[in-house]
Structure 1
Amino acid sequence: MTITRMTAKEARNAYTPAQIKAMLKKAKSLPLDKNEIPTAEDLESGRIRLLRRGRPKKEYPKKRVDMRFDQDVLVGLKSYFGRGWSTKVNDTMRRTLARAGVL
């Protein structure tokens, strides 16, 4: 038996939905080869790599902090910085701390 590799789009064009359903049913009933199941050693050696989905983790992720501002200060920050004001305040604080030699 020859195995042909094709994309899902090619399979939809080459076979009817009933044929695809029958092939999937047959594939699920095939015996599982124990040698094809990855082991912990495969992962540790780097022979097999797990793919991670989504955005990569940041080295220093942001932390949620509750702060209390006077209402006029908060209104001033929002009006001065506009949209994304909290990120801009964070960047301003970072620059200030860097100049002070804290960071």
Structure 2
Amino acid sequence: MWEPVMSVRKKDTELYTLEDLEADTEYQFHVYAVNLRGCSDPSDPSDGITPEDEAPLEIRLRGADALAAYLEASKEGKKEIRSIRLMLVGQERVGKTSLVKAFMRDK
């Protein structure tokens, strides 16, 4: 059974905490948009989670990839994460944006 949980008016809201969830109960979530033209189709359902799967706030604030890595590591005991921070510096119109887009496409 699906039921509405929240409504967000700010487009930059990415985190919402649900209170009073039942232990040992699996929850899934759909997201959809509503505007003057109506409702969008709902997203595919999220992976099921239980309140015991809850990650610390520091992990949740880093986004869905960090949360997935945390949950996998908590089940398997470890998770290899390879990441690097890269700063591109250069003159205008030399291809910095194209290079970043090429890296991001290669996930």
Higher percent of residues as helix: 1
State TM-score, norm by structure 2: 0.18
Higher alpha-carbon Rg: 1
State TM-score, norm by structure 1: 0.18
